[in-house]
Structure 1
Amino acid sequence: MTVISTQKDTEALSLTIVAEFDAGVERVWQIWQDPRRLERWWGPPTWPATFERHDFVPGGRADYYMTGPEGEKSRGWWRFTAIEAPNRLEFDDGFADENGDPVAKMGTAHAVVTLEPIGDRTRMTIVSTFESAEQLEQMLAMGMEEGMQQAMGQIDAILAESPTA
C-alpha cells in the first residue's frame, strides 16, 4: 500500500494523507497534470472518476463525476488556486449538482498537494482543510479517508507503466 499515514486534526479542521511512490517527482506530477491518468485513480476503485474538464492552470477549473457500482453519479469540481510544477498544487474542492454547479450546502474544502523527492522515490502529501468541524465530520462519515486511501492505492500501477502509456 502506498499510503503511509493519515491524520485527522479537528483543531486545524484538516485531513492529511501521506503516500510514497517508487517514481520520481516528475512522473508523480503527471498523475495530476494529465486528466486521463488522473481519472484512473481519483476515486476509489468502485467509484471511478471521469474528468469532463481539466484546465490545469491557476484559476482554471476541473469538473468531474464519479460513477458508483449501481450507475449513480456523484459530481465534483475543483478550482486551481496555485500550481508550482512539479512540486505543489492547490485547489478548492466541492460537490456539484447535475449541471456541474457548486452545491453550497456541502461547503468547500481546500487541498494542498506537495511532492518531494526522497532519493529516487516521491512522497506525496495531501492536506485537505475544511470550513468547519461539522464539514470535516460529514466528509469523514461519507468515507473520505478510506476512499482516498483506496484511490491512492491505484497510483502504483499507473506509475509502473511505460512513461508514454
Structure 2
Amino acid sequence: MPVTDVTTDAEALTMTLTADFTAPVERLWEVFTDPRQLERFWGPPGYPATFTSFDLTVGGHARYLMTGPKGEKYHATWEFLEIDGPHSLAVLDSFADENGNVREDMPTSRMTLAFEPTASGARLESVTRFTSAEALEQVVAMGMVEGSTMAINQLDRVLQGLRDYAAGKGTQTEILDDTHVRITRLIEGPIDLVWRAHQEPELLEKWMLGPDGWRMSVCEVDPSVGGRYRYEWEPIEGTEGERFGFDGETLLSEAPRRAVTTEHMTGTDYPSTLNDLNLEEEDGATLITLLIEYPDMQTRDMVLATGMTDGMETSYARLEGVLASV
C-alpha cells in the first residue's frame, strides 16, 4: 500500500500522512490538480468524491461532495492558498453546506501537499494543521485517519492506469478492515455494456453463474432506487448441490458508474450485506470494484471461506465472452 505512515501531533495540532509512489512528481501533481482524476481516489471506499467546481488559482475555490452508500451527501470546499507546481499545494479545507457555504460548526484546517522525488518515484507528504486540539480530536473521532489512509491507498490505480494496475490479474480480493472487503476485476469492454450486464436479466442469466455446472433459474431485477431483485441458482444434472438464492433492494443507482444494493440469502435469517458496485472505464476496458460491507468479521470470514473469489472469477471470465457477442 502507498501510505507508509500517518501520525497526529496534539501539540503541533497536525495530522501528517506520508505515501510513496513509483510515479514521478509531475504525475502526482497532475492527479491532484485535475478534478476528474481526483474523483477517482479522493473519497475513501464507499464515499466517492464528485468535484462540482475547481478554480485552480490562488484565492480560487474547489467544491466537492462525497456520496455514501445510502445516498448520504457530505459537502466540502477548498480555498487555494499556495500553488507551486509541481512541488506543493496548500488549501484551506472546510466542511460546507449544500450551497458551498463554510459550516461554522465544523473545523476548518490548512492542508499542505508536498511532492518530492525519490529514487523509485515520488513521495507525498500531506500535513493538515488545525486551529485547536479540540478540532483535531473531533476529526480523528470522525475517522479522518482511517478515511485518508484508505483514500490515498486507492491512488496507485489512477497513477498506473487501469490496464497496468489490473490486467491479467483476475479477480482480486482485499480485506480492508473487520467488515469491509474490496473485490476488483478488469473487464475487456466499455462501461455502458458492463453496466447493462449487471442490470438486465437477459444478460445476467448468461454470466452470473459461478462455477460451471449451475444455472440461474430465477432472475428478477428492478434496478431503480427502492426496487428489489431476486436471483436463484440450481445445479444442472450431474452437479452436486442444493438450490439457493439471494434477494435485496437497490439503495443507490448512478448509471453507468455506481449501484448500491443490499444482499440477503433467501430463506435464511442471515444478516444482509451492503454491496457497493463501482465502474471505471479506460482505453476500452472497465474496472469493476465491488465493496462489500459485512455485519461482522465472523460473517466476512465465513463467506470468504466458501471460495467466493474463485466463483466470481469464473463468472467474470464468462462475462467477457458475453460482452464480446453483444
Residue of structure 1 equivalent to 2:138:
138
| Mapped partners of 2:161, 2:98: distance in 1 | 34
| Counterpart amino acid of residue 136 in structure 2 | L
Q: In structure 1, list runs of 5 or more residues that go unmatched.
A: none
| Counterpart amino acid of residue 95 in structure 1 | F
| Mapped partners of 1:59, 1:20: distance in 2 | 29
Q: In structure 2, list runs of 5 or more residues that go unmatched.
A: 163-281, 284-326
Aligned residues: 164
Residue of structure 1 equivalent to 2:17:
17
State whether structure 2 residue 76 is matched by structure 1 residue 69: no
Of stretches 43-52 and 153-162 in structure 1, the one that deviates more from structure 2 is 153-162
Show CA shifts across 1:33-61 (max 9, x none): 11000111111021000000111111110
Structure 2 contact 78–92 (Cα < 8 Å) conserved: yes
Residue of structure 1 equivalent to 2:118:
118
| Mapped partners of 1:107, 1:149: distance in 2 | 20
Give the 3-state SS of the residue equivalent to 2:8 in structure 1.
strand
Normalised by the length of structure 1, the TM-score is 0.96
The Cα shift of 1:161 comes to 1.2
Matches within 5 A, 1:1-165: 1-161=1-161
Q: Percent identity?
A: 46
Structure 2 contact 21–120 (Cα < 8 Å) conserved: no
Residue of structure 1 equivalent to 2:260:
none
| Mapped partners of 1:35, 1:149: distance in 2 | 19
Higher relative contact order (CA 8 A, sep 6+): 1
Structure 2 contact 19–123 (Cα < 8 Å) conserved: yes
- Higher Cα radius of gyration: 2
| Mapped partners of 2:53, 2:18: distance in 1 | 26
| Mapped partners of 1:125, 1:4: distance in 2 | 10
Show CA shifts across 1:74-107 (max 9, x none): 0000000000000100000010012111001112
Give the 3-state SS of the residue equivalent to 2:44 in structure 1.
coil
